[in-house]
Amino acid sequence: MEREEIPLLTGEPPRIFPPEEHPIRIADIDRDALKILYRLRDAGFSGFLVGGGVRDLYLGKRPKDFDIGTTARPGQLRRIFRNSRTIGRRFRLVQVYFRGGKIIEVSTLRSLSEYDIEGDETEVLPQNNTFGSLEEDAFRRDLTINSLFFEIENSTIIDYVGGVEDLKQGIVRVIGEPERRFLRDPVRMLRALRHAARNNFSIETNTWQAIILQRDKLTLCPSSRIRDELLRDLRGGASRNWLRLALDSGIFFVLLPCYAELARSEDWPAITEELQDLLGVCDRLHGLPLREEESIQIPDAMLFALLLLPWLRRRCDLEQAVAGAARAEMLQQLRHDLEGVLGERFNLKAMVRDEMSSMLGNLPLLVQHDQTQPWPGWLRRKSYFRDCQRFLRLWQEARGGEVVPAAVFIVTRKVEYVPLAVLEAPLPASPLAPATSESRNDRRGDGRPGRPAYSPLSGGVFGLRRR
């Protein structure tokens, strides 16, 4: 179902969906998130479940995070929730801590940046730090399906942008003019692909065309942001779907231009099938049901190695270089290629690239010894031997071999019961009092309680100012 693109800040009232018109129930919401919402209400503020949590609950999924938006400012939130801390330099969020190490983020409603309204067409959007209304917060978000609010008083969904209808239709749509929004923040293109892949949604025509037109703008983004977004896609349990969309849109070749030449070869169908099989193993592992304290953790180096394996197999002739001069030459070429492909584009640390070199460079040796003879003693003593083994098992499953047990990648989070009061403590006397801004004197290090320590050495240490 197509409709015109959504203008920013229409001024029209939102559509309100009562409980009988949506599937979300109070019982579906995390208990600690509810505590925060009720505490905000009791303190005289409005609080809403926002963004992806509402989207996932509507689709019948268990949200990974329950984020909350509120009219309270960060300073007021810190006085309401004693077990909290403020993070962020430009836009400040408050993290509320609960037993077991759980963290729920609470943010003040934000407004549209002036760049989204009247900025230069060639400028990438800077992070904005302006508080706003519920409507402004809805329209500053990237996709309609991520711009919904759930309020607990009447169990209603508040929808300014038609997000509920897009959820029903299975459509990913950008708020506002797609080309302009992607130019302001090109990473939004990756998020559009991610949500379409994870939910088996289609991407609205104007949004899809804008992705194809603006895809090269991803090179303007900080490499660390691109790296983190790509890792989220590989760990999301839908990387096979993501690969299909990334290939169709051309974003795959913007992220990994090393594959561009292979895409013109006769071997390309086999390469894409190999990529699908490798990512399919990751999807299977990330989709396994686990206990709350457990998670599947495939290391960053291993995920990138899987993504580059089909290319490197053909470039470095991995299968033939097992020993001697051929192996030494292959390892040298491998390290050089990894530094060129990943060093600048994804800002991967040298340690991660070294781990990838170990896994990829030792793969033919591992295959040979796994089939014919015991592992060499020198290899067993290496610190990277375990990761090389795990990488081998992933590769073998992708080729139709034995299924990798989940226990190989399961990490159990240590449950720590932090003795911090959440809701039991009484409210401050005046939670509605305006937050005082931080002054320069608050950071001068004068030795009073709650102030940072200072160094007695001349010039100070780590940027802390000397008295």
pLDDT at 389 over 60: yes
Q: Could you tell me which of 99, 92, 98 has the C-alpha nearest to residue 78?
A: 92
Q: Is residue 351 part of a domain?
A: yes
283, 254 Cβ separation under 8 angstroms:
no
CA 87 to chain centre: 17
Give the number of domains in the chain.
1
What are phi and psi for residue 17, nearest 5 degrees? Answer: -105, 110
Tell me: pLDDT of 418 over 90: no
The pLDDT value recorded for residue 312 is 86
Q: Annotated active-site positions, please?
A: 65, 67, 142
In a domain, 227, yes or no: yes
Per-residue pLDDT at 443: 41
Q: Residue 450 carries which side chain, given as an amino acid letter?
A: G
Give the bridge partners for 85, in sequence order.
95
Report which of 174, 197, 200, 167 is spatially closest to residue 59, judged by C-alpha positions: 167
pLDDT for res 375: 75
**pLDDT tens, position by position, 290-303:** 887 889 999 999 99
pLDDT tens-digit map of 180-233: 999 999 999 999 999 999 999 999 999 999 999 999 999 999 999 999 999 999
**Residue 289 in this model has a pLDDT that exceeds 70:** yes
Q: How many residues does the chain have?
A: 467
- Could you tell me if residue 322 is inside a domain? yes
Q: Is residue 404 part of a domain?
A: yes
CA distance 281 to 264: 26
Confidence of residue 451 (pLDDT cuts 50, 70, 90): very low
At 438, the amino acid letter reads E
Chain CA centroid to CA 45, Å: 29
Domain contains 144? no
Q: Which residue has the tokens 């330099």?
A: 89
Residue with tokens 């240590």: 414
- State the average pLDDT over residues 8-19: 82
Domain that holds residue 352: 223-240+253-287+299-408
CA pair distance 16, 134, nearest whole angstrom: 13
Q: For residue 266, is it within any domain?
A: yes
- The confidence score (pLDDT) of residue 112 equals 65
145 contact partners, CB below 8 Å, separation of at least 6: 55, 163, 166, 167, 171, 172, 173, 195, 201
Helices (H), ranges, 323-401: 324-338, 350-372, 377-380, 385-398
pLDDT score at 247: 98
Residue 246 lies in a domain: no
pLDDT confidence tier of residue 423, bands split at 50, 70 and 90? very low
Distance CA 245, CA 247 (A): 5
CA 383 from centre of chain = 29
Query: What single-letter DSSP state applies at residue 403?
Result: P
What's the rounded Cα separation, in Å, for the pair 28 and 44?
24
* Cβ 398 vs Cβ 277: under 8 Å: yes
Q: Is 465 contained in some domain?
A: no
Mean pLDDT on 339-359 = 85
Helix and strand numbers (H, E) in the chain are 18, 12
| Residue 320 pLDDT | 61
* Residue 13 to residues 9, 16, 77, Cα–Cα distance (Å): 10, 9, 28
Secondary structure (3-state) at 192 = helix
